[in-house]
Chains A and B, each alone.
Chain A
């Protein structure tokens, strides 16, 4: 049987919980004796019975009389099963409301006929729009308190239709109801003879379970890469959940942002019949025809389809739930699909008061409950779609101090040569105090020019041995050289780097800065790194400027864009490899012919 989730939102006290309680009672969806139990409790506590009590399962909710968290309840009609999500209306609990609403296929917005449209009626409308919930029905509740007057209903309908229109939300209908009296909830009523539309119950069945995901291009965020070796398992499985589109065995695929390519070999599962195709929503695993080295967090797409954007910078709409405001020059964590990356706020373009859609000019920070349009930047390129095209891979959350503090949708890819790193390098070079000894003088005195030489490759031991051999070789020819062993910085200079998501990037950054200083001293500065990608090398190259870098790759070359200066055979003898490196250094005019 089909099942859909419907969220009920609206301003505090406008009657959401009462509506749901009533609906459950009127459709006989309550467990046996529940209604009697709550009625008895009310008598015992000398409280008038309310349908909302049926939902208030938690003690502190009962004492405050407001819903603080989303509660889920289940009911079914002949057509299908429903999960009703009761979202809190109080602003303090906006993040709970978002949690409830984000998993809904459709929404009811409840508005009190007597109080009219309130701040959170509008704010919730905004959230519904941002969460991409396409199907909305507006319930004008407590009609009994306004004498079931059609004019009042029409007034609210007009004003709220205008408001939602500006958010591009078009409600299926407006229904005049009294949840307390059961008017137009499960059955029509002679109290509203002027109303000929659907009841709430009928509207439930009228919502459509629209799913556009299958018709979109294939998007598969790589959640993890497994190689469980127990019981002789040799599969290397790329695991994740298909966001959109379909993929088949044999399809050519690309991982982004790395750009690595391969083909789907098999679709893996446990206790499932073998399958050759996957569809949206499925949590699956793939093995590939050729081994590529990518990290969890990349987006796997089909080579033949529309490609996502790959850029470090984008313009986005976001709402902020954090207690501390979002500010510039602070490091946040981005979670987009399976990706986790550092993130910075570059610019606030506009802060919108979601309760009336007015702009707040000139804000320098995004406060709690603000909705803001801004420019965000990650240190390295990120793969995403624009939310207008594929919203499933065009949305993200922001973590601040361990908490999900913001959520947003991507509006535009802002391609720019400008980046935080470039700005940093240009600032640094501006402030750089040059030595009284020029690099030409050093080259003449040392008999070689300065260079940053980086060995990379899968075989860490091999690259380390080669780097050390090069250091010895150059030293024996009286060159100024130093091989920096990474272990020496990790437990020394870098010992303070703790935050897991930043560990790699920060090691790379410090190494780049160190290279800038050591190459300034005229040395041939050598290091060896395993497990680096294109962007790490580009970062090192940029940080080492104006001096030059030479990357020597040992073994299989996994870089998709970066041009390494030399690739060495991992099996080759050390002497031969060293000869090749020496030849390269000559070719690049690091060392002059007659010195070797």
Chain B
């Protein structure tokens, strides 16, 4: 087996394990390349089907092309698409840069908070109605207790210590000091009532692996990842006020791979365009402990 085939097989095994063990399971789809590759792996695992809902947290600051692309795939692949949002904070402009929030605080309000309440079901969820072709309020208010997330170990320090199956307590807190053992393809799949689990099928993948897999499988990704004539492309996608494109002429998957392997990006951190990481040296870890993905 090739390196990519091995990564694929491990991820598929994890996805099947999650589907077998957790009744109330969802996958977070950020519309970025990682979680889109993960969605593709789901179709691999379940032979073309996606047997659980996909959740997207819409901060209202996402680049519009991301939303258009999300709904296009949702229609084509007949996805069970759920969207959550912190509508109140957005209405009250408790955001960066309008409100007095720092970038990190804004992430907490628009992403962590929205996610927590969307998963628990106490905020309104919007479900894509394939017949009506639009989002309608979801009648299902049941909490989702298993959440599949596309975090990768190479992204930054704290993620390198995650487990494939990582428990979170009632308040979504992560106890890094006391994580379950994982060995021989056996993961923590037993949970006390009230706790929930994050599943990380992409933990062993690197940024380059993801792009090579996207190329190999011909997975559709948002065109924002490619240079479209202005010498710029996004390397990592987020909210527009906090995400800057990088200088790059890579216009397709192969060129992105070449750039990552040998070009000027080979030694620069992927999230370098994400401004919130720069506010605090342990920024992402601080967020992750509070439930950020």
Contact = CB atoms under 8 A, between A and B. Distances in A.
User: Bound pair: A and B?
Assistant: yes
B72 interface: no
B269 interface: yes
A539 B228 CA distance: 69
A131 interface: yes
Given A70-B161, A279-B1, A281-B6, A404 B180 contact: yes
A285 B45 CA distance: 9
A194 interface: no
A107 to B, nearest CB: 14
Nearest to B23: A500
Contacts of B267: 31-32
Contact of A281 (B1, B160, B177): B1
Contact of B158 (A58, A99, A233, A335): A58
Nearest to B177: A68
Contacts, number: 146
Interface in A332-372: 333, 335
B1 A403 contact: no
Nearest to B9: A283
Given A71-B160, A237-B47, A283 B188 contact: no
B9 A74 contact: no
Contact of A99 (B12, B163, B217): B163
Interface residues of A, number: 59
A32 B181 CA distance: 33
A102 B190 contact: no
Contacts of B132: none
- Do most interface residues of chain B lie in helix, strand or loop, or is the interface mixed? loop
Interface in A203-245: 223-224, 226, 228, 230-231, 233, 235, 237, 239-241
B181 to A, nearest CB: 4
Interface stretch (A394-402, A430-438, A506-514, A547-555): A394-402
Contact of A60 (B6, B17, B177): B177
Contact of B185 (A31, A99, A131, A241): A241
A279 B5 CA distance: 12
A410 interface: no
A40 to B, nearest CB: 11
Nearest to B181: A95
A60 B12 CA distance: 33
B183 A407 contact: yes
Contacts of A228: 46-49, 51
A321 B190 contact: no
Contact of A397 (B10, B49, B158, B186): B186
A59 interface: yes
Interface in A268-307: 268-271, 279, 281-283, 285, 296
A59 B282 contact: yes
A2 B3 contact: yes
B170 to A, nearest CB: 14
A324 to B, nearest CB: 15
B134 interface: no
B176 interface: yes
Contact of A407 (B8, B157, B181, B268): B181
B188 A270 contact: no
A410 B269 CA distance: 45
Given A99-B182, A102-B184, A397-B183, A58 B47 contact: no
Contact of A58 (B46, B186, B285): B285
A41 B180 CA distance: 32
B195 to A, nearest CB: 8
B16 A283 contact: yes
A252 interface: no
B63 to A, nearest CB: 26
A231 B51 CA distance: 13
Contacts of A96: 179, 181
A239 B16 contact: yes
Interface in B262-293: 267-269, 281-282, 285
A321 B181 contact: yes
Contacts of A269: 44, 47
A274 B84 CA distance: 39
A31 to B, nearest CB: 6
Top 7 closest A-B pairs, CB basis? A57-B157, A102-B183, A283-B12, A95-B181, A283-B9, A402-B190, A32-B267
Interface of B: 1, 3, 5-6, 8-10, 12-13, 16-17, 19-20, 43-49, 51, 78, 153-154, 156-158, 160-161, 163, 176-177, 179-186, 188, 190-192, 204, 206, 217, 267-269, 281-282, 285
Interface of A: 1-3, 31-32, 41, 57-60, 68-74, 81, 83, 95-96, 98-99, 102-103, 131, 223-224, 226, 228, 230-231, 233, 235, 237, 239-241, 268-271, 279, 281-283, 285, 296, 321, 333, 335, 395-397, 399, 402-404, 407
20 contacts: A2-B3, A57-B157, A58-B176, A71-B160, A95-B180, A98-B183, A223-B16, A224-B19, A230-B78, A239-B16, A239-B45, A240-B16, A269-B44, A271-B217, A281-B9, A282-B9, A283-B9, A335-B186, A397-B184, A407-B184
